[in-house]
């Protein structure tokens, strides 16, 4: 199903960019933020035997990355449905 | 049963499996050969992508690098996983929607230019070929080490196996073989790690074990590790002091952008049926990768601690050479461990200080390779590690070779030089260029160029500085035009090559390096391996500026961009206007 008008097409893309922007901020803050730039400060705290900054750099950022992609996939599927542009099972996108 | 016999049996069984899959999954059309008919389930594609991605370096060398670098080694962990987030959100779904076969094809169509397509092919081949050299040498080393054959024989066996399933099955054969290879590889990696974690901390999950206390004395593993390595005179394992944050940031960013821009990974997302599948498939890929990547730091830390505790950290605790454990003797024979009794007292004095250190060779690769023996695991697990190392090298090599051969047969031959060839001829051309690519990669494996060690960094740098910006602008910046992207890719490529060459020598020949490898001359302290991110920034800047100064792309290209941005056709419903 194509978009009904130009405004909807623009709105869809704007919402898409918003989702990506929020998730990229999370992506950068766990890796570059917690894992590198503020690792030293965070190392004052600990999870079990892991200094917190070190944990983010070697464990936490990777877990967050995995979650981020699934959240992205979920949000985009919902967005597609809201705008009526989701792919139906019997209708492959192949052109 | 004899250890070596067991290794032959386990490795032989896995090879039989790969060849069986190859015979079952022959490709009958170009669509099967290039993109496995776009019929691969997202979970299956995730698993295949994981095997495609995790190379011999990830499997054999990464834990060792982290073990020696400590906190600083995190750049590999974050860099080689974080790129998948970029790939999932910025490239994969859109390129899947575009619905063609190769990366240069998108660039050629989006920028309405055969020149752009040819430049993309050149960048792709440069990146993939430099990367495949590392895989071929890795295959040779792995075979020779595990099968006790010489390096060239090992490499030849590897080439024959890859030839069999890649030439016959193309992407289809490679996909299903990679799934099998992922399973072999992940079992081989995690089983020894689980046993070691159980022995040392009582936790079965290595990810928890590294943050837990030692069973022996209740100290945390990482605290004990910090203590032991400082006693030996090394930098504290978890410490952030003395690490350049700027360099770490750029290094991580380069690996992330490079990961997202490597064509052999991107084309895996062309094989799923839907745009929606491309998004979730990236998540599954990273999940499967994360199992190994979160285990690796635990393997690194625990093995390093084990090693230091075994060897002793001071003259009082030093191990007597006579009492060395069996695994020490085994790996001494391979030359990866070497002891030289400088003091002549029969004790192994291990230290960070080169003048007193008697462990004159302590290859980092033994962190993974000797792991099962250090943990005293049964010999079938050691055989499994051998099969895992081979699976890692073969799966990545096959993926890279497919990216190269499809760029030659589909982009150069069909796209530029002989547009009129039939599908059957193109399929044949695909098989021939695959065979050719294997031959070239094999030749480079037999005669590894002097710069082999620097090649992986170069591959990432090229992918980051050329392909990633061109693809991303093509989707997110409608105004990006032919002139801009050509100038951008060339600028990124040149800047990256110049920086790497000026510090590491032209084609890595030391004498031609005019600034030398010394950190004092590094641009803001950024090492050559970390320069891909700078190349990418240059590419983005040049491409946007030139695009703004020249004519905008034609209307049908802007429509194409609109179309790529939505999962189903983006053109407005005709009755609305």
Domains and CATH numbers, chain B: 3-305+376-568 (1.20.1730.10)
Q: Do A68 and B294 touch (CB under 8 A)?
A: no
pLDDT of B291 reads: 96
Q: Do A65 and B567 touch (CB under 8 A)?
A: no
Q: Do A76 and B279 touch (CB under 8 A)?
A: yes
Dihedral sign (CA B254, B256, B262, B264): positive
Question: Is residue B211 within 8 angstroms of chain A, CB to CB?
Answer: yes
For helices B455-462 and B114-147, the axis angle rounded to 10 degrees is 150
pLDDT of B573 reads: 47
Question: Is residue B567 within 8 angstroms of chain A, CB to CB?
Answer: yes
Tokens representing residue B145 in the block: 């080490």
A-facing residues of B in 156-185 (CB < 8 A) are none
CA distances for B454 relative to B337, B450, B507, angstroms: 24, 9, 9
Ranges of chain B whose pLDDT falls below 50: 507, 510-518, 520, 572-577
pTM of structure: 0.90
What would the mean pLDDT of A38-43 be, rounded to a whole number? 92
In 3D, which of B189, B364, B375, B302 has the Cα closest to residue A49?
A: B302
In 3D, which of B556, B555, B552 has the Cα closest to residue B544?
A: B552
Give dist(CA B240, CA A87) in Å, integer: 48
| Closest chain A C-alpha to B142 CA, distance in angstroms | 27
Q: Determine contact, residues B212/B201, Cβ cutoff 8 Å.
A: yes
pLDDT of B525 reads: 57
pLDDT of B419 reads: 82
| Closest chain B C-alpha to A82 CA, distance in angstroms | 13
A87 CB neighbours in chain B (<8 A) are 274-276, 567-568
| Closest chain A C-alpha to B553 CA, distance in angstroms | 19
The residue in chain A having the minimum alpha-carbon distance to the alpha carbon of residue B253 is A32
Backbone angles phi, psi at B570, to 5 degrees: -95, -10
Q: What is the DSSP letter of B244?
A: -
The residue in chain A having the minimum alpha-carbon distance to the alpha carbon of residue B282 is A69
Q: Determine contact, residues A61/B82, Cβ cutoff 8 Å.
A: yes
ipTM: 0.93
pLDDT of B21 reads: 86
Question: Is residue B484 within 8 angstroms of chain A, CB to CB?
Answer: no
Backbone angles phi, psi at B361, to 5 degrees: -135, 130
Q: Which residue has the tokens 């050629």?
A: B108
| Closest chain B C-alpha to A52 CA, distance in angstroms | 10
Give dist(CA B234, CA B253) in Å, integer: 27
A-facing residues of B in 232-271 (CB < 8 A) are 238, 240-241, 245, 248-249, 252-253
The residue in chain B having the minimum alpha-carbon distance to the alpha carbon of residue A46 is B211
A95 CB neighbours in chain B (<8 A) are 99, 569
Pick from A57, A67, A81, A85 the residue to mutate for testing the B interface (most B CBs within 10 Å): A57
Largest CA distance in chain A: 57
Q: Determine contact, residues B62/B296, Cβ cutoff 8 Å.
A: yes
Question: Is residue B220 within 8 angstroms of chain A, CB to CB?
Answer: yes
Residues whose CB is less than 8 angstroms from the CB of residue B550 and which lie 6 or more positions away in sequence, other chains included? B481, B483, B484
Query: Would you call B216 exposed, middle or buried from its count of C-beta atoms within 10 A (0-12, 13-18, 19+)?
Result: exposed
A2 CB neighbours in chain B (<8 A) are 568-573
Q: What is the DSSP letter of B247?
A: H
| Closest chain B C-alpha to A42 CA, distance in angstroms | 11
Q: Are strands A46-47 and A50-51 parallel, antiparallel or unpaired?
A: antiparallel
Q: What is the pLDDT of residues B358-385, one digit of tens each?
A: 888 887 778 888 888 877 788 888 888 8
Tokens representing residue B422 in the block: 């039939």
Q: Do B294 and A62 touch (CB under 8 A)?
A: yes
Q: Do A62 and B562 touch (CB under 8 A)?
A: no
Q: What is the pLDDT of residues A60-82, one digit of tens each?
A: 999 999 999 999 999 999 999 99
Question: Is residue B82 within 8 angstroms of chain A, CB to CB?
Answer: yes
Q: Do A27 and B82 touch (CB under 8 A)?
A: yes
């Amino acid at each position: 199903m194509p978009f009904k008008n130009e405004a909807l097409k623009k709105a869809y893309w704007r919402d898409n960019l918003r989702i990506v922007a929020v998730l990229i901020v999370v992506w950068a803050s766990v890796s570059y933020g917690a894992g590198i730039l503020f690792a030293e400060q965070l190392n004052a705290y600990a999870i079990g035997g892991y200094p917190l900054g070190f944990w983010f750099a070697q464990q936490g950022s990777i877990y967050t990355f995995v979650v981020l992609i699934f959240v992205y996939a979920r949000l985009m599927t919902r967005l597609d449905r809201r705008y009526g542009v989701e792919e139906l099972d019997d209708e492959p996108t192949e052109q | 049963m004899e250890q070596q016999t067991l290794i032959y049996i386990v490795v032989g069984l896995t090879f039989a499996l790969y060849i069986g899959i190859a015979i079952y999954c022959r490709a009958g059309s170009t669509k099967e050969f290039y993109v496995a008919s776009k019929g691969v389930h997202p979970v299956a594609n995730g698993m295949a992508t994981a095997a495609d991605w995790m190379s011999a370096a990830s499997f054999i060398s990464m834990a060792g690098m982290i073990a020696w670098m400590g906190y600083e080694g995190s750049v590999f962990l974050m860099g080689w996983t974080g790129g998948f987030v970029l790939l999932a959100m910025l490239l994969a779904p859109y390129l899947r929607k575009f619905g063609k076969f190769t990366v240069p094809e998108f660039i050629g169509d989006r920028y309405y230019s055969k020149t752009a397509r040819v430049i993309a092919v050149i960048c792709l081949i440069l990146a993939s070929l430099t990367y495949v050299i590392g895989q071929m040498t890795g295959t040779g080393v792995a075979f020779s080490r595990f099968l006790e054959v010489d390096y060239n024989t090992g490499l030849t066996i590897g080439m024959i196996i890859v030839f069999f399933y890649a030439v016959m099955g193309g992407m289809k054969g490679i996909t299903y073989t990679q799934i099998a290879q992922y399973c072999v590889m992940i079992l081989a990696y995690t089983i020894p790690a689980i046993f070691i974690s159980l022995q040392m901390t009582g936790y079965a999950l290595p990810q928890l074990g590294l943050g837990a206390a030692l069973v022996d004395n209740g100290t945390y593993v990482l605290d004990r590790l910090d203590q032991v390595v400082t006693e030996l005179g090394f930098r504290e394992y978890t410490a952030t002091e003395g690490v350049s944050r700027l360099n770490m940031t750029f290094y991580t960013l380069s690996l992330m952008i490079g990961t997202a821009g490597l064509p052999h990974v991107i084309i895996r997302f062309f094989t799923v049926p839907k745009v929606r599948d491309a998004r979730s498939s990236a998540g599954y890929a990273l999940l499967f990768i994360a199992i190994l990547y979160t285990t690796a730091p635990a393997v690194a830390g625990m093995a390093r601690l084990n090693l230091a505790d075994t060897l002793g950290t001071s003259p009082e605790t030093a191990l007597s050479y006579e009492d060395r454990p069996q695994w020490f003797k085994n790996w001494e024979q391979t030359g990866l461990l070497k002891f030289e009794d400088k003091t002549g007292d029969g004790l192994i004095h291990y230290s960070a200080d080169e003048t007193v250190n008697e462990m004159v060779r302590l290859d980092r690769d033994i962190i993974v390779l000797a792991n099962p023996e250090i943990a005293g695991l049964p010999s079938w697990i050691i055989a499994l590690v051998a099969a895992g190392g081979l699976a890692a090298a073969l799966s990545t090599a096959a993926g890279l070779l497919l990216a190269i051969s499809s760029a030659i047969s589909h982009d150069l031959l069909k796209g530029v030089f002989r547009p009129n060839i039939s599908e059957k001829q193109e399929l044949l051309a695909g098989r021939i260029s695959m065979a050719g690519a294997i031959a070239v990669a094999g030749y480079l494996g037999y005669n590894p160029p002097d710069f082999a060690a620097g090649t992986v960094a170069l591959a990432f740098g090229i992918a980051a500085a050329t392909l990633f910006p061109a693809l991303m602008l093509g989707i997110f910046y409608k105004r990006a035009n032919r002139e801009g992207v050509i100038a951008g890719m060339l600028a990124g490529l040149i800047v990256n090559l110049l920086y790497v060459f000026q510090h590491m020598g032209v084609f890595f020949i030391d004498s031609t390096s005019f600034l030398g490898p010394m950190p004092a001359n590094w641009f803001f302290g950024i090492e050559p391996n970390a320069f891909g991110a700078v190349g990418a920034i240059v590419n983005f800047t040049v491409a946007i500026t030139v695009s703004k100064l020249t004519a905008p792309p034609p209307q049908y290209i802007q429509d194409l961009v609109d179309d790529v941005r939505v999962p189903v056709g983006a053109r407005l419903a005709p009755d609305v206007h």
